[in-house]
Structure 1
Amino acid sequence: MILAAGRGERMRPLTDRTPKPLLPVAGKPLIQYHVEALARAGVSRLVVNHAHLGEQIVAFLGDGARWGVSITYSAEPAGALETGGGIQHALPLLGDGPFWVVNGDVWTDYPFLARPIPEGSLAHLVMVDNPEHHPQGDFVLSGDGSVADAGDGRLTYSGIGIYRAELFTGCQPGAYPLAPLLRQAMASGRVSGEYYAGRWLDIGTPERLDMLDKELRRT
């Protein structure tokens, strides 16, 4: 599942007329990098949620055939459903097994290779070094591969993870964040993770978008 429903307030005025996942980087919309990476990794069925200017996302991606994938859309009401509510809303489209989730507003060269989520884990998070704009990090990745909410050596959650539908058991439909669910699962030892040292950037501001554009045009 590619999360593409956010309004992108910090990216305004760029996102007033263009949804953030369609903002171009080195001549290619951000979301296309994810579609291509997932296709290369053998992921054939994608779900994309959308809200703000979502018709543009549907028009650009279509059914996914040109990348060799099948894309289904999870439309959300105006204002979107936040990350937790958006994933729960899309669960009927995501099948019975574990599924990838990736934020549509990050760029990375992470390889989405097939890997089993550890037995008993409700979520498996890809963690990265803390960027300058988020020095405090999010969670702690232990040597045994478990992820905790408190402790030293905090890393940043990359916005890439593998989830089980059971994480959302008991949740009421509607808008709500994902982080409280993850922290609840961490408290019972049911979140695992991995560290990724490759290239990753959260495209949260026009300045970071421009920085990435220049970097990719040089490479």
Structure 2
Amino acid sequence: MRAIIFAAGLGTRLRPITDSMPKALVPVKGHPLLEIAILRLKAAGCRDIIVNIHHFGEQIIDFLQAKDHFGINIQISDERDLLLDTGGGLKKAEWFLKEEPFLVTNADALTNLDLRQFYQTHLQNDALATLAVRQRESSRYFLFNSVGQLCGWSNVKTGETRLSRDEPDLKPRCFSGIHAISPQIFDFFPAEASVFSIIDTYLSAAATERIVAYPHDGDIWMDVGKIPQLEKAGEILEAVLPR
């Protein structure tokens, strides 16, 4: 099993902490977010991980070296010259990910979602991508039909709606920042662009391909994107860290 951890974000909502460190190394009770993500992937059976870096990227390189790469194969996808967004980040790491279905997680997504089961469900679904989603309030939603297939996306603040399939009674679900993706996704990436969102690719591919929801409302989940969430993250850490 292979995976990529998105760790290149600027972490602007966690300032002033991220004025001197990358968001991925912000600690929760002494455990950097990146460490938590790696340990969870390792516990799920993942032995090959690539981490993209940008903001204070050298600190992430030094951290992984100090931890002896947690005893597994951890590679770096270096975006220090240009931040590539989620789609561009995957495109740059294609050389590492293209041989088999892989997991994707944001470094700041804390959850006790069973990653092994999530990955196996993706394999059984024979989908292009499987997206972990929840019912919660947000400004942006994926839109799924009655059988959980992606049909569109909406931004409730701006009123923008983008449809890949025109189907009735679409259900809005909020993305948890965790995907399982088949390598055929790379066929849908724009040939010329280097900076683009994976959301754009999903919406384009969903017109012809199966991209499906994986509801996990029964799990613990938190986006550690702001100081208040960081303070609350310590309360769920024991349930999130693998034993």
**TM-score (normalizing by structure 1):** 0.88
User: Alignment partner of 2:143: what SS?
Assistant: strand
Where does residue 176 of structure 1 map in the other structure? 196
The alignment's C-alpha RMSD in Å is 2.3
Determine if contact 1:37/1:111 at 8 Å carries over to the other structure: no
Q: Call closer, same or farther: CA 1:79–1:203 in 2, change over 3 Å.
A: farther
User: Alignment partner of 2:115: what SS?
Assistant: coil
Can you give the 5+ residue segments of structure 2 that lack an aligned partner in the other structure?
Answer: 154-168
4+ residue runs of structure 1 moved beyond 6 angstroms? Answer: none
Determine if contact 1:127/1:193 at 8 Å carries over to the other structure: yes
User: Alignment partner of 2:125: what SS?
Assistant: coil
Where does residue 208 of structure 1 map in the other structure? 229
Q: Call closer, same or farther: CA 1:153–1:52 in 2, change over 3 Å.
A: same
Where does residue 36 of structure 1 map in the other structure? 39
| 1:125 aligned onto 2:131 | yes
| 1:51 aligned onto 2:54 | yes
- Give deviations 1:37-95, integer Å, cap 9, x for gaps: 11111111101010110111111122865633210110013341111101100110124
| 1:159 aligned onto 2:177 | yes
User: Alignment partner of 1:80: what SS?
Assistant: coil
C-alpha deviation, 1:214, in angstroms: 4.5
- Give deviations 1:91-117, integer Å, cap 9, x for gaps: 101241111110112111112104116
Q: Which moved more, 1:39-48 or 1:188-197?
A: 188-197
Determine if contact 1:63/1:72 at 8 Å carries over to the other structure: no
Hey, what's the Cα distance between the residues in 1 that align with 2:216 and 2:27? 25
C-alpha deviation, 1:143, in angstroms: 4.5
Can you give the 5+ residue segments of structure 1 that lack an aligned partner in the other structure?
Answer: none
| 1:103 aligned onto 2:106 | yes
C-alpha deviation, 1:177, in angstroms: 1.3
Percent of aligned positions with the same letter in both sequences?
Answer: 30
C-alpha deviation, 1:153, in angstroms: 3.2
Where does residue 207 of structure 2 map in the other structure? 187
| 1:199 aligned onto 2:220 | yes
C-alpha deviation, 1:166, in angstroms: 2.6
Aligned residues: 215
Where does residue 96 of structure 2 map in the other structure? 93
Q: What is the letter of the counterpart of residue 51 of structure 2?
A: V
Determine if contact 1:26/1:217 at 8 Å carries over to the other structure: no
Q: What is the letter of the counterpart of residue 135 of structure 2?
A: D
**TM-score (normalizing by structure 2):** 0.80
